[in-house]
């Protein structure tokens, strides 16, 4: 489909603050990746988990020190992981158990590269351990391992990444407090670690230092892990849960633990799931969100502080594309690039400039300032690009004579220039551009613009 960006859209996207493409929740902090592939963080910083070179909390988003080209970002209890476009992993924050993977147990308040990891396609964090998925389908883990959450057959901690035994053909990973989940390419789910509450989902309450199959689950397309409970999204749009349930975080209308998967009540057409410590979230295909479980800080976002053992709708939020959760707060990314949060806020993890909890969504302020050097076009000036999103190249319809076509970064830097005089269309090579969002600018008497998404 051809995407045409008009003046009003460009003015909204390019000349206002706050636009993210990825969000995640840590313990008492939050993180996001901006459209220019640079990370931001806010909330608690006692262990350096904001990565800005200080240990000072922030109730508004601040840039992570000297990092760009980010593909994915995730938060643990008090540490953070990012996956760069070059498939390397960088970490910062608390490192008491080696969860930074740098060969020592020293904390770091700036990003440091995890040892000997390459070809990584996904990262996830548990409370005090870290997980990485390689392109060959193997899983790697580091940090605390007292209950066997690495799945490597041991209970020894490690401050460098170790392979999770013979586990293979994995497509997704998730980390809880003391357990880990892995989704295989055949749609089955596997789990390792502590199991006192049945969070491994294999019909027992016996912990396991190797991955064991979750009972009677197939056709799974996404997984999530809370402190002591687990979630899975099936390809039919239903959600299943297992483990600890005193606050109703399993969402099945009870407060009873379960060591096998149970269906979450009345959930259909779900496209994504997320889990906090004792609460759970689901995103519907209509762009709305539902939550259930523990709610003393308003982390369910429904205008109350009452727990719920069945899903309830988040108040006044539509047009959502992504959801995430911290320990006791929740996040959502809207289609317009704005980020909304609710729940606990003692360390500023809601990012709204206050330390006041909220039981309804509030907007994160000043998240990312981008497009600041791109000129405002006249109302009739536009380009079109196809395909958009694109990967290796795109075709740009100039619409009128132009001297030159430029690809401009979200910070205003010209990354590519092509002479276009006398041409109505031009093929633009994109193979040297990182994944992210760019502006196409045709120079001439009247500048013309389009927003281009490069996907990998």
Whether pLDDT at 15 is above 70: no
* Pick from 363, 360, 280, 284: nearest CA to 328: 280
Across 95-108, average pLDDT: 98
Whether pLDDT at 431 is above 50: yes
Q: How far is CA 438 from CA 27, 216, 352, in A?
A: 32, 45, 27
Q: Kindly report which listed range (16-20, 191-195, 415-419) carries the lowest average pLDDT score.
A: 16-20
Across 441-456, average pLDDT: 78
Rounded-to-integer distance, Cα 231 and Cα 250, Å? 8
Note the pLDDT of residue 133. 96
Across 30-45, average pLDDT: 91
369-396 tens-digit pLDDT = 544 444 444 433 467 888 888 888 898 8
Whether pLDDT at 14 is above 60: no
* Pick from 119, 72, 126, 120: nearest CA to 99: 126
Whether pLDDT at 141 is above 50: yes
Note the pLDDT of residue 433. 86
Structure token digits, residue 113: 């590269």
Local structure of residue 118 (DSSP, 8 states): -
Adjacent-strand bridge partners of 324: 331
342-360 tens-digit pLDDT = 999 999 999 999 999 999 9
Across 310-316, average pLDDT: 97
Note the pLDDT of residue 410. 60
Note the pLDDT of residue 6. 28
Rounded-to-integer distance, Cα 414 and Cα 298, Å? 45
DSSP string, 277-328: SSEEEEEETTS-EEEEE--TTSTT-SS----EEEEEEPTT--SEEEEEE-SS
Structure token digits, residue 338: 């704005």
The pLDDT confidence band at residue 448, using thresholds 50, 70 and 90, is: confident
Rounded-to-integer distance, Cα 152 and Cα 224, Å? 20
Note the pLDDT of residue 391. 85
Structure token digits, residue 262: 């149970």
Residue 415 DSSP SS3: strand
Across 54-61, average pLDDT: 97
Share of the chain above pLDDT 90, in %: 71
Share of the chain above pLDDT 70, in %: 91
pTM: 0.81
Q: What is the mean pLDDT of the chain?
A: 90
Whether pLDDT at 36 is above 80: no
The pLDDT confidence band at residue 309, using thresholds 50, 70 and 90, is: very high
Adjacent-strand bridge partners of 331: 324, 341
Rounded-to-integer distance, Cα 75 and Cα 28, Å? 10
Note the pLDDT of residue 446. 67
Residue 264 DSSP SS3: coil
The pLDDT confidence band at residue 201, using thresholds 50, 70 and 90, is: very high
Whether pLDDT at 138 is above 60: yes
Q: Kindly report which listed range (4-8, 357-361, 428-432) carries the lowest average pLDDT score.
A: 4-8
259-301 tens-digit pLDDT = 999 999 999 999 999 999 999 999 999 999 999 999 999 999 9
174-196 tens-digit pLDDT = 999 999 999 999 999 999 999 99
Q: Kindly report which listed range (25-29, 306-310, 323-327, 373-377) carries the lowest average pLDDT score.
A: 373-377
Across 232-236, average pLDDT: 96
Across 158-168, average pLDDT: 96
Count of all residues that appear for the chain in the document: 456
The pLDDT confidence band at residue 412, using thresholds 50, 70 and 90, is: low
* Pick from 35, 2, 33: nearest CA to 437: 35
Q: Kindly report which listed range (10-19, 149-158, 442-451) carries the lowest average pLDDT score.
A: 10-19
The pLDDT confidence band at residue 19, using thresholds 50, 70 and 90, is: low
Note the pLDDT of residue 16. 41
Note the pLDDT of residue 4. 26
């Amino acid at each position: 489909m051809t995407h045409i960006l008009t003046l009003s859209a460009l003015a909204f996207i390019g000349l206002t603050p706050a636009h993210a493409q990825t969000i995640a929740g840590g313990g008492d902090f939050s993180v996001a990746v901006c459209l220019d592939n640079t990370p931001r963080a806010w909330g608690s910083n006692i262990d350096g988990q904001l990565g800005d070179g200080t240990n000072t909390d922030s109730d508004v988003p601040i840039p992570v020190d000297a990092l760009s080209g980010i593909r994915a970002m995730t938060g643990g209890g008090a540490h953070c992981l990012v996956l760069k476009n070059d498939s390397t992993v960088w970490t910062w924050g608390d490192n008491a158990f080696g969860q930074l993977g740098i060969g020592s147990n020293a904390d770091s308040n700036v990003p440091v590269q995890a040892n000997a990891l390459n070809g990584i396609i996904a990262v996830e964090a548990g409370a005090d351990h870290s997980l990485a998925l390689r392109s060959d389908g193997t899983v790697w883990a580091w940090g605390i391992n007292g209950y066997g959450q690495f799945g490597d057959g041991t209970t020894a901690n490690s401050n460098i990444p170790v392979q999770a035994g013979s586990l293979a053909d994995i497509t997704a990973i998730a980390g809880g407090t003391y357990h880990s989940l892995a989704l295989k390419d055949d749609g089955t789910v596997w789990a390792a670690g502590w199991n006192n509450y049945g969070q491994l989902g294999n019909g027992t309450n016996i912990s396991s230092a190797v991955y064991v199959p979750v009972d009677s689950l197939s056709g799974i397309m996404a997984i999530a892990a809370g402190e002591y409970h687990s979630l899975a999204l099936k390809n039919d749009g239903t959600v299943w849960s297992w483990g600890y349930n005193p606050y109703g975080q399993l969402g099945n209308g009870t407060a009873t633990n379960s060591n096998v998967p149970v269906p979450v009540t009345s959930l259909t057409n779900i496209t994504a799931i997320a889990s906090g410590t004792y609460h759970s979230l689901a995103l519907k295909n209509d762009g709305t969100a539902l939550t259930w479980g523990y709610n003393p800080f308003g982390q369910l976002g429904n205008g109350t502080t009452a727990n719920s053992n069945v899903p309830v709708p988040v108040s006044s939020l539509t047009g959502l594309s992504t959801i995430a959760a911290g320990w006791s707060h929740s996040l959502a990314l809207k289609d317009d690039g704005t980020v909304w949060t609710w729940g606990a806020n003692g360390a500023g993890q809601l990012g709204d400039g206050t330390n006041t909890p909220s039981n309804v969504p509030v907007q994160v302020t000043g998240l990312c300032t981008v497009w600041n050097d791109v000129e405002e076009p006249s109302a009739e000036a536009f380009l079109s690009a196809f395909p958009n999103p694109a990967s290796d190249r795109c075709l740009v319809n100039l619409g009128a004579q132009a001297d030159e076509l430029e690809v401009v970064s979200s910070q205003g830097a010209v990354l590519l220039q092509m002479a276009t005089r006398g041409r109505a269309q031009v093929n633009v090579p994109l193979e040297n551009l990182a994944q992210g969002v760019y502006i196409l600018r045709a120079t001439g008497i009247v500048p013309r613009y389009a927003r281009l998404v490069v996907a990998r």
